[in-house]
Amino acid sequence: MTLFFLLLPPLLMFAASFVKTSRTRKLLPLSSFAVLVPVALLFRLPKPYALWGEYLVADDLNTYILLLSSVVGIGVTLALLTLDRHVKVSEKELYRFYRFFGLFWVGLSLSILANHMGIFWIGLEMATLSTVYMIKTNRSPAAHKEAWNYMIVGAIAISLVLFGIILIYAAYKPLLGEKAMLFDALLANSDRIPSPFLFELGFALTAVGIFVKMGFFPMNLWLAHIERAAFYPVAALFSGILESGVMAGFFRFSTIAAAIDHERLFLFVLVYTLLTLFIVSFLIFRAKDFMRLFSLSGVEHMALIALFWVSGGTFAALLHFGAHAFLKPALFLSTGVLESTGRYHFAGALRGYHGTRGKVFWFLAGLFMLAIVSIPPSPMFFSELYGFGAMIEQAKASDHLLAMLGAITLLLVLLSVIFYRFVAIYQSMKYEGAEEGKTVYISEVLALTIFAVGLAALLLPGTMAFLKGIG
């Protein structure tokens, strides 16, 4: 029954997008609010709660991720209301955007709630294919090219994930039979696995697929180019919802891998994320427009979350995850206003706002800009403290203390490059450049306020206690 209510709003949105009256236009954002009700209900139910037999099971982790995603969904649909005032988009395309947003949401809810590897994959593939169209709502040649690009690279990444899933299934099948598809069964039987090598081969392929999808080494720039070519709500959806869904999968797979051979998993992820951060930090240093800057910073944070998670800093990873899920869509949505005087203008982007709306906007956008590089009291500050603490604990327990400490130092140096660049950009936005008038609409301020409230809620003691309880 809860499942029905979870999937009803996006399906309604899908159906309503075919009716093109002015009233449906107001109705569409409302339907994203309706998702919040079943998610809130889900929070109150005893966990783990079976939504659909063993296939969809809600536990604390995925309920948390679903809640974050639904809040982001509300913000994005609010910002969609004024998309046509900032960029040129026809009415038809806007409806199409909603239509595919509905499909996207169905796929994503399935994949986040899945306890079954197959359903996780099917949901992810559905979400990926529906985003191809959202990129295409921008009718420029660049967007067209990037939509194809997304289709091909996304399909490769997703196929790698499925390939890994089949290998994992093959590794467990002699032991568990058809149940070898269920995440909880895999975790419970990890010490009795007949062929660890086959599992690790499968996990490596799955992880590489997941990493490619999130823009890790060596595919660092593909997401940045796509987000540049598409409209800004697409970028917000990518960073806030789609990557959360993908990351949820990584959490599940890596928990099983950690139970089998933690040291090897840690080394694999550490090397991968170090390479990623090394390249991304210099790419961020060279970024010349907001979209690419934020997109690359998204890759950086995803790498950090993955690293914190496998280091055993579950709480740090989840807090970082939540903070990123709110901050990044907020920044992407504000680019609609920030870039209204030109794509490559950092200087003066935070100047020229008038009236209450304008002032609230620049204050929030500036705040988010600084919060993303973990200036306290941003939740990211705390999550990085805990995360690096967990990594140092991991280093003390390992046999290679010096090498590990060296890696952590390198990581901090790379993060400081990013920190320096963001602060420099903030100063240029605020104190340089000409003052040009910019228009801010109420729906955008509302969306940003929702994200700000979400961020503040992450810092509440109750939330922290909840997140600590998940690990």
Site for other proteins, rule CB under 8 A = 55, 116, 118-119, 121-122, 125-126, 129, 132-133, 136, 139, 144, 147-148, 151-152, 155-156, 159-160, 162-163, 166-167, 169-171, 173-174, 178, 181, 194-195, 197-198, 201
Residue (169 or 388) nearer to other proteins, CB: 169
**Single-letter amino acid code for the residue at 356:** T
Q: Which two tokens stand for residue 233?
A: 């709500």
Q: How far apart are CA 249 and CA 254, in angstroms?
A: 8
- Complex with other proteins: residue 190 or 378, whichever CB lies closer: 190
| Contact predicate 284/417, CB 8 Å | yes
Identity of the residue, 99 or 328, whose beta carbon is nearer to other proteins in the bound complex: 99
Quote the least distance from Cβ 2 to other proteins, whole Å: 21
- Residue closer to other proteins, measured from CB, 144 or 264: 144
Q: Indicate the residue type of 396.
A: K
Asked whether 165 and 201 are in contact (CB, 8 A), the reply is no
Instruction: Please identify, using beta-carbon distances, which residue of 139 and 343 lies nearer to other proteins.
Output: 139
Judged by beta carbon, residue 67 or residue 157, the one nearer other proteins is: 157
Judged by CB, which is closer to other proteins: 181, or 226? 181
Closest distance to other proteins from the beta carbon of 195 (Å):
3
For 87-108, b/e burial (b = at least 16 CB within 10 A) is eebeeebbbbbbbbbbbbbbbb
Alpha carbon distances (Å) from 350 to 355, 362, 367: 14, 6, 11
Q: Quote the least distance from Cβ 164 to other proteins, whole Å.
A: 10
What is the amino acid identity at position 173? K
Distance in Å, CB of 155 to other proteins, minimum:
5
Residue showing tokens 């967007």: 143
Q: How far is the CB of 87 from other proteins (least distance, A)?
A: 17
- Residue placing its CB nearer to other proteins in the complex, 79 or 237: 237
Structure tokens belonging to residue 342: 């030109």
Question: Shortest Cβ distance from residue 223 to other proteins (Å)?
Answer: 19
